[in-house]
Amino acid sequence: MAVLPKLLVFVWVSTIALSVLAFQQTQPELPIVISTWAFVDAVRAAAQHVIKEGGSAVNAVVRGCTVCEVLQCDGSVGYGGSPDEAGETTLDAMVMDGTAMDVGAVGALRSVKRAIETARLVMEHTEHTLLVGSQASAFSLSLGLPGPTNLSTDDSLQAWSQWEKGGCQPNFWRDVIPDSTSACGPYKVSALMSGQGDRSRVGGGISGKHRKSSFSKATGYGNHDTISMAVIDRVRIFFNFVFIECSDACCGLILHQVSVDSDACFDDLLVGDGAIVGASAYADDDVGACGATGDGDVMMRFLPCYQVVESMRQGMTPEEAAKDSIARIRRKFPAFIGAVFAMNKYGVHAGACHGWIFQYTVQDSAMADAVVFTVKPDVL
């Protein structure tokens, strides 16, 4: 296969890795690891396994994600993440094999830290795709994963307490009484509101559906909800996603791992886009893979990663596919905050974002260390 011509690459040294603002890639050397955000330690761990030890992609993403769970990357991955309205932290996770198109997912997982492993067990040892709540926990414990254990920490409980004292702001309730923009629940729907609301009001989306602005959720560094890691070994594409209950989602394939915090939204019993195939991640080894981060409640409606992969199937480059996917959401929800990375089956990658500056980290066989790529939004 011909090597793409080398073009100028601008780099500088940061304290954690090389950071790249503008680039044109040469053909990457497989295996390759890619992750949302500057989670360098997680990428290094996955790369160590798949590149230096010759391990499988699925084991690499589990190892990489586990590192981030233990480190609680950005305070938004794994146990101790943002709790729900009752002060409890729960986890979502998804694994998708981009070769066999097998999927395993868990939602609202309680009392078990190893959500990634649980999703993998669902994929490998059941005919199911998704287990949720107490059944997901019982399944995990029955197969010998450690637990039950408390997923809350002093920090997460303190965050919940401060959120409650602050009038339960922000939250994802709307059109309820008392007014959810200034008061805590329990909330009710009045007789006047129930089924009678004017759904044509101008809101966060062109559809007119009333929606609080994504910017009111203060989504940003340390509050972006997701690590999404993808690994291509020399055999298959694999994604794995992990999500902390409360808002956005994660999902994965044998090339990809994602872990999402709750976007600090504190909702009860939420299963986010992390458990939904095509929303926060998707992979097909005939084409490539995608990982997403941001407002998963919106992503779930557009299946941006499925769109990315299908666009690449139709001939778009990873950069074109990523930008197109984000643009589709932006047209309907101008206040949307989110990002995707796209990678084709040869390891060529790109990112696109809206509402924030996005970073993703890569390490392939030719790299001595992980490299952090920075992506700016096309529309400010």
Q: What is the CATH number of the domain that holds 240?
A: 3.60.20.30
Cut 0.75: pTM above it: yes
Whether residue 326 lies inside any domain: the answer is yes
State how far the Cα of 275 lies from the Cα of 171, in Å rounded to an integer: 21
State how far the Cα of 244 lies from the Cα of 107, in Å rounded to an integer: 9
What string of pLDDT tens digits covers the 380 residues of the chain?
443 333 222 222 333 344 344 344 567 899 999 998 999 999 999 999 999 999 988 888 888 888 887 777 766 666 666 677 888 888 888 888 888 898 899 888 888 988 888 999 999 999 999 999 999 999 999 999 998 988 888 888 888 888 889 999 888 888 899 999 999 999 998 766 555 555 544 344 444 445 555 444 444 444 555 678 888 987 655 554 433 322 232 323 333 334 444 344 344 456 777 788 899 889 999 999 999 999 888 989 999 999 999 999 999 999 999 999 999 999 999 999 999 999 999 999 999 999 999 999 999 999 999 999 999 998 87
Whether residue 76 lies inside any domain: the answer is yes
Whether residue 204 lies inside any domain: the answer is no
Q: Decide if 219 is catalytic.
A: no
Whether residue 26 lies inside any domain: the answer is no
Residues 6+ apart with CB under 8 A from 120: 58, 62, 95, 104, 240
Which position among 226, 317, 361, 374 bears the catalytic label? 226
Q: Give the position of tokens 């910017």.
A: 215
Whether residue 312 lies inside any domain: the answer is yes
What order of strands is seen across the sheet that includes strand 349-354?
A: 281-284, 288-294, 338-344, 349-354
Whether residue 202 lies inside any domain: the answer is no
State how far the Cα of 48 lies from the Cα of 55, in Å rounded to an integer: 9
What's the structural domain count of the chain?
1
The predicted structure's pLDDT at residue 207: 42
Whether residue 351 lies inside any domain: the answer is yes
Q: Domain range holding 297?
A: 32-188+224-375
The answer to whether the Cα torsion of 208, 212, 215, 217 is positive or negative is negative
Whether residue 216 lies inside any domain: the answer is no
| Burial grade of 188 (CB within 10 A; 0-12, 13-18, 19 or more) | exposed
CB atoms within 10 A of CB 20: 18
Q: Identify which of 276, 296, 229 has the alpha carbon closest to the alpha carbon of residue 69.
A: 229
